[in-house]
Structure 1
Amino acid sequence: MTEPQSDLFEMRRLESLSNTIFGVAMTLLAYDLPKPHFAQLPDWVDLAHTYSGRLAGLALSFIIAGVFWISHHRRLARQPFGSRPVVLLNLFFLLSIVLLPVTNGLYGGYRLSSAVAVLYGLHLTVIAALNAALWWLALPSGRHAEIAGAVFPVVVFVPGMVIAAYAPEYVQYFWMLGFGGMLVRRFVRSAPVQAAGDRP
């Protein structure tokens, strides 16, 4: 059994770091939830007015982070070792996850602002693009299903920024389509990887 090259990084260490980063980022999503002091006992209308927008943004960001956490770990399982550029790109991907509570807090408080919605959509696009690039580097040619599943959220989030600029109140429903990447993998058949001995 050949040993890995000395200049390759063991991705299992990166997996441990990413677990911590995703866990902290997903927990901090709830940090910006309002902590109101009602003048009187609140009724359902008061609670809905205070929390409805914030909870919608939190749920969207939490689900997005969870989907990318699953994708990240599935990718690392297929890539036990990585070069220095791949490790650096993974760190930029994790940085984009660290910043998710920041843009989520803005979006939860000002989701009807087109500027805030576009900024949040741009952040989602960056996360999805980095994830797709990492999948592209991790897989050999022929794994079309995995690549298609990783690229699909980018295809959704890019036009989502245009919708956010003109109709920020509706764009969150369009962003939900980005989760369809998990379904895309099931409908795109991966081309069989040709064995070395079968090459002409």
Structure 2
Amino acid sequence: MFEMRRLEMLSNTIFGVAMTLLAYDLPKASSFKQAPSWMDLVHVYAQPVIALMISFIVAGMFWFSHHRRLAVAPEGGRGVVFLNLFFLLSIILLPVTNGLYGTYRLDGVLAVLYGVHLTTIAALNAVLWVLALGGRRDPHLLTTALFPVVVFVLGTAAAVVAPEVAQYTWCLAFLAPFAGWLAARRAR
């Protein structure tokens, strides 16, 4: 058995670096030849900042979930450790897809790529939660883990036909704690 505290230290570093690198692709001041107007700022920064905000909140949401999961299952076997490493790899790649999505947010292919990435992160998180619960039925935790998967799949499907709508659908994933609360309430 592997003590997950070691993985927790690694994950804090990975999440911190990945969340910081999200800002790397923001346009630099040198993209303006003179002092920009408000509309110039909106035109240049709106798309990248929207992508950064979605990605930062998604990363924060999964960082919180990851720490809660490690507290629920403080030890894990080799398979769980490797699955956690794949989960962390998916977080490391977030600045890459965020940069592409922030630059070309309305492009269908890149919106779908970003959506597939968000879905992958959510699916790995959900599988890790199922393993951490070890067969226990906890409607609150299971719903909180599975809800983002459903939302990201729907958002990615929306990105196929209407990339400009996908970001609004993906933001619904932030309601996962509320969905978990409702599931726990219904189970009583």
Above 0.5 in TM-score? yes
Cα displacement string for residues 95-129 of structure 1 (whole angstroms, at most 9, x for unaligned residues): 00000000000000000100000000000000000
Q: Which residue of 2 aligns with 1:24?
A: 17
Task: Give the TM-score normalised by the residue count of structure 2.
Answer: 0.95
Is 1:145 the counterpart of 2:140 in the alignment?
yes
Cα displacement string for residues 124-149 of structure 1 (whole angstroms, at most 9, x for unaligned residues): 00000000000000014121210111
Counterpart AA for 1:67: M
Is 1:15 the counterpart of 2:8 in the alignment?
yes
Equivalence map 1:159-198=2 (5 Å): 159-189=154-184
Which structure dedicates a bigger proportion of its chain to helix? 2
Q: Paired residue for 1:93, among 87, 108, 116?
A: 87
Q: CA deviation at 1:161?
A: 1.3
Q: Which residue of 2 aligns with 1:198?
A: none
Distance in 2 between residues matched to 1:84 and 1:132, nearest whole Å = 18
Q: Which residue of 2 aligns with 1:45?
A: 39
Is 1:35 the counterpart of 2:28 in the alignment?
yes
Provide the identity percentage.
62
Distance in 1 between residues matched to 2:97 and 2:12, nearest whole Å = 20
Counterpart AA for 2:76: G
* Unaligned segments of structure 1, at least 5 residues: 1-7, 193-200
Q: Paired residue for 2:115, among 110, 117, 121?
A: 121
Distance in 2 between residues matched to 1:149 and 1:87, nearest whole Å = 22
Q: Which has the larger radius of gyration?
A: 1
CA RMSD of aligned residues (A): 1.3
* Unaligned segments of structure 2, at least 5 residues: none
Equivalence map 1:59-98=2 (5 Å): 59-98=53-92
Conserved? CA contact 2:154–2:169, under 8 Å: no
Cα displacement string for residues 51-90 of structure 1 (whole angstroms, at most 9, x for unaligned residues): 0111000000000000000000000011111000000000
Q: Which residue of 2 aligns with 1:55?
A: 49
